[in-house]
Structure 1
Amino acid sequence: MVASTTVTQLDDIERPSGAAAEKAQFGSDVVAQTLRDAGIDYVALNPGASFRGLHDSLVNFLGNRSPQILLCLHEESAVGLAHGYAKVTGRPMAAAVHSNVGLMHATMAVFNAWCDRMPVLVLGATGPVDASKRRPWIDWIHTAADQGALVRNYVKWDNQPASAAAAREAVLRGVWLSQNAPMGPVYINLDAEMQESGIDAELPSVDASRYLSTARSGVDQETVSEVWALIRKARRPVVLAGRVSRDEVSWHRRVALVEAMGAKVITDLKVAAAFPTSHDAYAGDLRGRNGAATLEVLKAADLVIALDWVDLNGTLTAAFGPAGPECTVIRVGLDHHSHNGWSMDHQAHPPADLVVSTDPDRFTALMIGSAKLCGTNAKPARACTPELSAQDGKQLTVEAIARTLLHFLGGRQSCLTHVTLSWDGSYWPFDHPLDYLGSDGGGGLGAGPAHAVGAALALRDMGADRLPVAICGDGDFLMGVTALWTAVHYKIPLLMIVANNRSFFNDEVHQEKVARMRGRDVSNKWIGMRMDDPEIALADMARAQGCAAFGPATTQAELESAITQAIAAVEEGRVAVVEVITDASYPATLVNALTGTTKG
């Protein structure tokens, strides 16, 4: 059980002295108050002069409470924290980024949140729009004519309000848009002059909740009846369970619907847990050692219902070829509302016989109506722990890490906040919506640590008795390691295991494929990939952030000892990192999935 770290205990961290201002006096005070009214709990930030007004308001007007500042060492980490938080809660956290340069740092993290359809409120700032009020040099290089253009193609909405009243509306609209399906990040650019200018009189009070109502996407009874008619005709229905919420009631509804349909279920490791892997109806995921068998289940389907499935066309093509499936395809989701002409994250346009434009959770609820929500065929996957076997001098693998960690967790509830690219779905059972939170969304390396910290914060605040666990690759860890300082500073318990194969190995796989295609020397694939001579001391880098660090573990015995100590450290409320030296190879099935290879 993770040691309880309550919000009360955190009141001692970065508490301002003196009396807080009693009423809003400046434009930034209005912004800060609106953040509180909108239910924003935190503002993750790396400090910047362009939002010094807002920073002062958060501290000296609100007292650094609701929202509380979370100091990050990089803007990318700030947005990544907010992304990880949203993965657990489904609600936005704010991330403040400094002017155009901070936004440039943060763009990859914004893109990850966009592709992952996660709500994040990104607050930017700019040097005074009125050129006569800019400081020489610095305000000029930190002011852009259209700063929102940097991210406009991968946010749901952006705005640059010119007054306190407009800023209040922008924050309320931004929060509302970000958390309505299809969810995603929004960007609000706060003019420095607007922040620092006094307000003549307090704005009329508003009830923020009336501006944040969830938009309900409906499905008429005729559509529900049509879907049920197709289900009754089907003999081999398959549900592709994609992007769905972490809501436990919706999880049980999904199981009940699948059982009522007599369907098989396929999931995707790119997104969070959507169905219990121990259930008799679970057919697996399409990548990894069991992918071929899972694909056969899809090939045999006479009805496919896709619940906001990522890359539906790619999946159908893999099963049925370029001509597409002969069976009926029902596509459920609202993702088409986010598609634009800049980002290709929407994937190829899939064939579908019926498109149901609603949130998948709402679709499930409407389909089962008043059906009983409990009593499933799920098996208690954690009733036993995997047996450990000697490695016989072999290098450790990601699978060995998974089996060892699962063994020593001993039935404790956990949350996989992140896994390596080489992870196989068969390594770990998912039987709760918080068992696994999915990938980084946009394939942006370096997101794992920040996502883990944000998710761990959310789990701590909601009182979830779950041990947050991140399995990161060495490249991912190296690019995002400073996010761990924030976890240590704010006492956010977290276990991170770094699978260190001392290479950007995914690209070795690609270089090998290119060399084979061109008839060239495959043995050169490591050049420009390997991180050795000198070897990087990853455990020492974790210690430098204040973490309890263990390793590098090179043997099974060392791995077991390190994991045991690390779990104990996390249960004491600490951040623990285990470095494991792993084999620089991927299973053949994974290599094929990553490169599109079908032979050899």
Structure 2
Amino acid sequence: MNVEKPITTEPAAMQWGSDYLAAVIRQLDLRFIAINPGSSLRGLHDSLVNYLGNESPKLLLCLHEDHAIAIAHGYAKVTGKPMAAAVHSNVGLMHASMGIYNAWCDRVPMVVLGATGPVDAVERRPWIDWLHTARDQGSLVRHFIKWDDQPASLPAAAESLVRARLIAETAPRGPVYLCFDVSLQESKLSGPLEVPDPSMYSRPTPAYPEPRALRRVAQLLSEAKRPVIMAGRIGRDIRDWVRRIELAERLGATVVSDLKQGAAFPTDHPLHVAYSVGSRGMQVLREADVVMSLDWIDPAGTFKLLAERGAPIKAPYVHCSPDQYSHNGWSMDHQALAAAHTHFLCEPEALVDALLELDDEERIFPGRGKDQAGQPPSSREPAAPVPPDAELSIRVLAHVLREATRDVPVTLIRTPLGWSNDVWEYRHPLDFLGKDGGAGIGSGPGMAVGAALALKDSGRLPLAVLGDGDFMFSSSALWTAAHYRIPLLIVVANNQSYFNDEIHQERIARQRHRPVENKGIAQRMTDPEIDISAIARGQGAIAYGPARNAGELARAMRDAVARVRDGALCVIDARVLPGYES
């Protein structure tokens, strides 16, 4: 990895407040800090480079604070562990706020390090320090982080740093924010300070299902003839993946997955039903006699949608999620309240383990799912070959990408609206990482870089399929991948429009009996056309396109896959047809 090595003459002694902060940060085992630099961080920046030698953690330069947060977000989606991001003062935190909101909604751990100009007004430089000082800087993001602090002394800062990592990693996970006064960073140490050992502060023991409630639910499941598991927010650990499969097979339970959250169950397993609430999913939920949610996002909304489509759920509903600990009333990301027969306030993995352990002891689910256990994936008719001159609908795009990567282990980092998930089989928790949490726009490039960073040397091909609007919001995030030699393949599904909003405008026009022909005004990115390839090359990527049909895209993919596997950053401009159906 191409990380800058500082010039050193002799080992630096701990002399400054920021040296001490850097030493504590090293103890937290944060491998990287994505940073957009600024004067409020100059003391800490110097200490990370000249005191720690830019090693453990390594600094990763980003061209925008939102990229720094998105990179940390993508990294956490792969590893389940927090990465740090550093943002400059109030101005940097304001830039970073959308990315922090995404991480909050996605429930991923992250440590955001910030700074403020001198709290003591006497210490402020004229003009600039006044602009970069806020009375309560954390209030900018307090509604969508788990915890924040602005410690007033170095010992307090050390405790805050240790606490921050613990809180970020405790379910429900999320971002935390620490703000360090410039004066604290740049103060001269008067004597030695003890660097805390984080191992002395044990991580909280995960919550476990209450035994009586567990037994009631196990009995309910053992008597069910058509149980359904709704798999939502799930970690990327392969052991937990295997345990979920084992539970579903013992129960003979149909598993419905929510692909906003990434792969939670093998999508070609005989017990799996795709597309969340598609026609088959609606049928199995309507016919279910028990429904158990493993941290499903918005179960009440799912049930409401099913009821509106004539398939109300009448079965007892078991909800497993610690998510309500993060609900604070500012953001409505908590969704509607679902009526639950039983609610376990633990992570899904704990409930799965507890049910399997109870069954191991008492054979509550004897022989269930034997016909599915150990069976090969469900058969699927091979797709007809795509003609080389076929125009690129989203479905054709997905087919071409799948065929070009079929012999390569792929992590599909992101996909655009309308993506054809049925074209891909997800057989590993890292096969697909899901969405961005906050459902905004602009996070894709940064999250792709962060996920690719975490996947480096894993043997997996990091592939992100981004919309052109998402790509253009944050295309300069690619520079970080190019500079630090992070292999990554991005395919831009370029319909030259904010097409989802065209659909909204058409719907409104029809409701109001107005011309639908005007739906593209202030939506389409043409005249002039945006040269995606030139923008990618300008960030240091190898660029292809525009590819306008299946044959051109297939040729670009063959070359790009080979180059990425050799360590390159590649971007393909794929001109797709407007629309979400083939």
Q: Give the TM-score normalised by the residue count of structure 2.
A: 0.95
After superposition, the CA RMSD in angstroms is: 2.0
Give the alignment partner of residue 510 of structure 1, picking from 480, 501, 504: 504
Matched, 1:357 2:351: no
One-letter code of the match for 2:503? V
* Corresponding residue for residue 560 of structure 2: 566
2:334 aligned to which of 336, 346, 360: 346
Partner of 1:170: 160
- Establish whether residue 297 from structure 1 lines up as the match of residue 284 from structure 2: yes
Aligned counterpart, 1:136? 126
**1:456 alignment partner in structure 2:** 452
1:210 to partner: Cα distance:
2.5
Q: CA deviation at 1:26?
A: 1.6
Q: Pick which of 557-566 and 12-21 moved more.
A: 12-21
Partner letter of residue 122 of structure 2? S
How far 1:304 moved relative to its partner? 0.7
Using the TM superposition, give the Cα deviation of residue 300 of structure 1 relative to its aligned residue in structure 2, in angstroms.
1.1
Alignment check: 8 A CA contact 1:386 1:407 kept: no
- For 1:266, what is the secondary structure of its paired residue? strand
Q: Return the alpha-carbon distance in structure 2 between the equivalents of residues 385 and 84 of structure 1.
A: 32
Distance 1:395 1:59 in 2: 51
Provide the residue aligned with 1:247 in structure 2.
237
| 1:288-335, Cα deviation, whole Å (9 max, x unpaired) | xxx122111111111110111111100111223599633100000100
Give the residue type in structure 1 aligned to 2:469: G
Give aligned pairs, total: 571
Q: Secondary structure at the match of 2:273?
A: strand
Q: CA deviation at 1:33?
A: 1.3
Match of 1:120 in 2: 110
**Residue aligning to 1:332:** 320
Relative distance call for 1:333 and 1:479 in structure 2 (3 A) is: same
Matched, 1:59 2:49: yes
Unaligned ranges ≥5, structure 2: 361-369
Structure 2 CA distance for aligned equivalents of residues 388 and 381 of structure 1: 21
SS of 1:297's equivalent in the other structure is helix
Q: CA deviation at 1:252?
A: 0.4
1:408 to 1:387, Cα distance in 2 relative to 1, 3 A: farther
Contact 1:384–1:411 (CA<8 Å) still a contact in 2? no
- Does structure 1 residue 367 correspond to structure 2 residue 364? no
Change in Cα spacing, 1:158 to 1:47, as seen in structure 2 (3 Å) is same
Of the three residues 228, 247, 255, the one matched with 1:238 is 228
Of 209, 224, 229, the match for 2:199: 209
Partner of 2:443: 447
The CA deviation string for residues 166-209 of structure 1, in whole angstroms up to 9 with x for no partner, is 11111111111011110000111111100111222222243212
Task: String of CA shifts for 1:364-414, please: whole Å, max 9, x gaps.
Answer: 111112879x9944645899985532165x531121121111112132101
In the alignment, does 2:431 pair up with 1:431? no
CA contact (8 A) 2:286 2:311 kept: no
Q: 1:307 aligns with which of 271, 294, 315?
A: 294
Is structure 2 residue 66 aligned with structure 1 residue 69? Answer: no
1-side partners of 2:483 and 2:377: how far apart? Answer: 36
For the Cα contact (< 8 Å) 1:279–1:377, is it kept in 2? no
> Could you list the per-position Cα deviations for residues 424-450 of structure 1 after superposition, in whole angstroms to 9, with x for gaps in the alignment?
321211110000111011012011111
Preserved CA contact (<8 Å) 2:158 2:196: no
Separation in 1, partners of 2:150, 2:311: 47
Match of 1:581 among 567, 575, 581: 575
What is the rounded CA distance, in whole Å, between the counterparts of 1:247 and 1:357 in structure 2? Answer: 20
Aligned partners of 2:510, 2:491: CA distance in 1, in Å? 33
- Give distance in 1, aligned partners of 2:545 and 2:553: 8
2:537 matched to 1:540? no
8 Å contact 1:388–1:404 — kept in the other structure? no
CA–CA distance in structure 2, aligned partners of residues 383 and 319 of structure 1: 27
- The alpha-carbon deviation at position 80 of structure 1 amounts to 0.3
Kindly indicate whether the alpha-carbon contact (under 8 Å) linking 1:27 and 1:163 is maintained by their aligned counterparts in 2: no
Percentage identity across paired residues of the two chains: 46
* AA partner of residue 411 (structure 1): D
Contact preservation (8 Å) 1:123, 1:189: yes
Conserved? CA contact 1:551–1:578, under 8 Å: yes
Task: For residue 14 of structure 2, give the secondary structure of its aligned residue in structure 1.
Answer: coil
Structure 2 CA distance for partners of 1:431 and 1:381, relative to 1, 3 Å: farther
Aligned counterpart for 2:189 among listed residues 193, 199, 202: 199
Greater displacement, 540-549 / 202-211? 202-211
Is residue 346 of structure 2 the alignment partner of residue 388 of structure 1? no
Alpha-carbon distance change, 254 to 141 in structure 1, aligned in 2, over 3 angstroms? same
Paired residues of 1:243 and 1:271 also in contact (CA < 8 A): yes
SS in 2 for 1:369: helix
User: In 1, Cα distance between the equivalents of 2:386 and 2:262?
Assistant: 29
Structure 1 pair 383/569, CA: closer, same or farther in 2 (3 Å)? farther
**Paired residue for 1:18?**
8
Q: Given the alignment, which residue of 519, 522, 527 partners 1:528? A: 522
CA distance in 1, matches of 2:57, 2:378: 39
Please give the secondary structure, in 2, of the residue aligned with 1:525: helix
| Equivalent residue letter for 1:390 | P
- Residue aligning to 2:474: 480
Single out whichever of 408-417 and 488-497 deviates more from structure 2.
Answer: 408-417
Pair 563,233 (structure 1): closer, same or farther in 2 beyond 3 Å: same
Partner AA of 2:165 in structure 1: V
1:158 matches 2:127 = no
Secondary structure of 2:331's partner? coil
Structure 1 pair 387–412 and aligned structure 2 pair: CA distance change class (3 A): farther
For the Cα contact (< 8 Å) 2:394–2:581, is it kept in 1?
Answer: no
Alignment partner for residue 21 of structure 2, among 19, 31, 46? 31
Residue identity in the other structure for 1:530: R
Q: Does 1:422 align with 2:383?
A: no
| Structure 1 pair 209–382 and aligned structure 2 pair: CA distance change class (3 A) | farther
| Structure 1 counterpart SS, 2:112 | strand
The Cα offsets for residues 2-58 of structure 1, whole Å up to 9 and x where unpaired, read as: xxxxxxxx3x63100113644422221122111111110000011111011110010
Q: CA deviation at 1:285?
A: 2.0
Determine which of 366, 390, 397 is the counterpart of 2:393: 397
